[in-house]
Amino acid sequence: MSDSVDKKSARKYWWIIMLLPIGLAAGTILSLINHLKQNEKQEEHNQYKVAVALNAKDIETGMQRALLLGERTLDTDIGRANLQSASRFIQGSVSPGGTGQQFDNSHRLKHDGHPINLSFVDIEGVQENDFTVVVIELSHKKSKGDAAILGLTPSVIRSLAEAQPLNTLRFVLTPYTQSTDAHAAQISKELLNRKQSLNKLLVLKTQDSVGISDLFDWVSTSDNSKPVELESSTHLEITHPALLAEPVDSISPAQVIATLKAADQLRNLLLRAANQ
């Protein structure tokens, strides 16, 4: 009798032992499926946020408002006031009502005795002390390209809010128009501490003409025959067909579409640069 019971118990436990790996495998598969679904939902959520930030209406509004700004220069009182207005416009568009990402305006310099600001906002990276810097030169005359820069910059910054790149992305608003090396030297001196390093610097530039070969992408101002090669230099001036330095009094739908495309391409370019 006891032998029969023992054999039945043994068979029962044998089946349990046999089924255990199957149960564990099924549990692992279900866990993986749930994890993938969560990742998919998060990716869809992130894509939605990017789509909200990079939308034609916001960019068009920014471009239209940019046309209301007068010439911006460090050489006159009116020009300096317009520089401040342009900086406030970008900052207010990035953080409407003081919400969201906040610019640091604490770095004050003097230009011919007049106070000026270097303002910046960061998209913090995993390696928070390594920086990819994007320079927006505010000294400009009214043009299609200037309106495009002022229109796309807030949208690109907002779209990157939760990007978490490898290196920190820093957007700098500067009243200076100067070489990439001069920008790098000034930013390293004024905006970075001893623990922080400048890995790459990109300066957005308008351009006087558009070549056939650069119709659909960001290019280096030194070679507009092909898309930007980030590995070619640590300091780059970049431009886009939407950034044409052509005087304009109104913004057309075609210009808005071109600027929206430039914004989307710039976002991807900056993530590539910050993840190197």
pLDDT, tens digit (0-9, with 9 covering 90-100), for 131-181: 999 999 999 888 999 999 999 999 999 999 989 999 999 999 999 999 999
Residues 147 and 233 in one domain: yes
Separation of first and last alpha carbons in the chain: 73
What is the count of structural domains for the chain?
Answer: 2
Determine the structural domain holding residue 22 and report its residue range. Answer: 1-53
Residues 8 and 73 in one domain: no
**Chain centroid to CA 207:** 21
Residues 34 and 95 in one domain: no
Residues 34 and 68 in one domain: no
| pLDDT surpassing 60 at residue 118 | yes
| pLDDT surpassing 80 at residue 38 | no
d(CA 262, CA 251): 15
Residue located via tokens 């993840």 = 275
Residue located via tokens 């920190």 = 168
Residues 100 and 11 in one domain: no
pLDDT at 42: 44
pLDDT at 49: 45
Residues 123 and 179 in one domain: yes
Residues 94 and 23 in one domain: no
Residues 172 and 231 in one domain: yes
Mean model confidence pLDDT for the chain: 84
| pLDDT surpassing 60 at residue 125 | yes
Residues 67 and 128 in one domain: yes
Average pLDDT score over residue span 66-91? 93
Residues 208 and 96 in one domain: yes
Residues 81 and 186 in one domain: yes
CATH number, domain with residue 155: 3.40.630.10
pTM, 2 dp: 0.80
Residues 70 and 167 in one domain: yes
Last residue of a domain, one of 27, 53, 79: 53
